[in-house]
Amino acid sequence: MELNKYIDHTLLNSDATERQIIQLCEEAKKHDFYSVCINSSYVPIARQALLHSDIKICTVVGFPLGAMSTDAKIFEAKKAIEQGADEIDMVMNIGLIKSRNYLGLLKDISNVKLAIGKVPLKIILEISELSKNEIVKACEICLDAKVDFVKTSTGFSKSGATLTAVKIIKKTVRNFIKIKASGGISDAETASKYIDAGVERIGTSAGVAIALAS
């Protein structure tokens, strides 16, 4: 299985340097990954580094906690798109689902989706913080908001993706929303298992190792 086109080659560390972002982009070109996934302040650098390539630029919004106001998320997303981002990975407001404020959560996600139009929106659930029922409810809200992807994790919480959670997500969203697994996926064998479970994108900082092994 050729895994490279499933990979969002990721560098989201707070101490990532401009040189490292450029290196990430060079690796993405060399291995023909689907995208690079970076913090929004680095979108202009990535855009310059990826000129004349078909590698997409994916950026995170409301990262890593998701507790920002909807207006802040909209501003960050629209600014990133203006500067060259092709996809937005937005962290869900976990506090809203814990509060059972489902309408508030739907509005938060829907308003961002409406603001960015046809640009793909991935909603990061942070599954390590959610019960099975909360994962299901979050996915139902994402269906109502007509987002493009549900993403498992930021990679900055207690744990990352699990096959169990992916199966719950897949059963809920079926083929209406795509799934991105991220957090702790560091080898080709593990990546392949997620793809076999129905995942259409892999977020990982180990993209080069995975590509070389596949």
* Bond from prior residue into 64 cis (ω within 30 degrees of 0): yes
pLDDT band at 177 (very low <50, low <70, confident <90, very high): very high
**Segment 40-57, tens digit of pLDDT:** 999 999 999 999 999 999
In the DSSP assignment, the letter for residue 69 is: -
Q: Is the pLDDT of residue 31 over 90?
A: yes
pLDDT for 77 equals 98
Helices marked H in 32-160: 43-49, 70-83, 94-98, 102-116, 132-145
Q: Report, as an integer, the average pLDDT of 141-161.
A: 97
Q: Is the pLDDT of residue 1 over 80?
A: no
Mean pLDDT taken over the chain? 97
Q: Is the pLDDT of residue 105 over 90?
A: yes
pLDDT above 90 as % of the chain: 98
Kindly list the distances between the CA atom of residue 133 and the CA atoms of 19, 79, 90, 118, 137, in Å, as whole numbers in the listed order. 42, 34, 21, 30, 6
Residues annotated as catalytic (active site), given as ranges: 89, 151, 180
What domains can you pick out in the chain, each with its CATH number?
4-213 (3.20.20.70)
Q: Report, as an integer, the average pLDDT of 144-153.
A: 98
pLDDT for 2 equals 85
pLDDT for 214 equals 82
Q: Is the pLDDT of residue 121 over 80?
A: yes
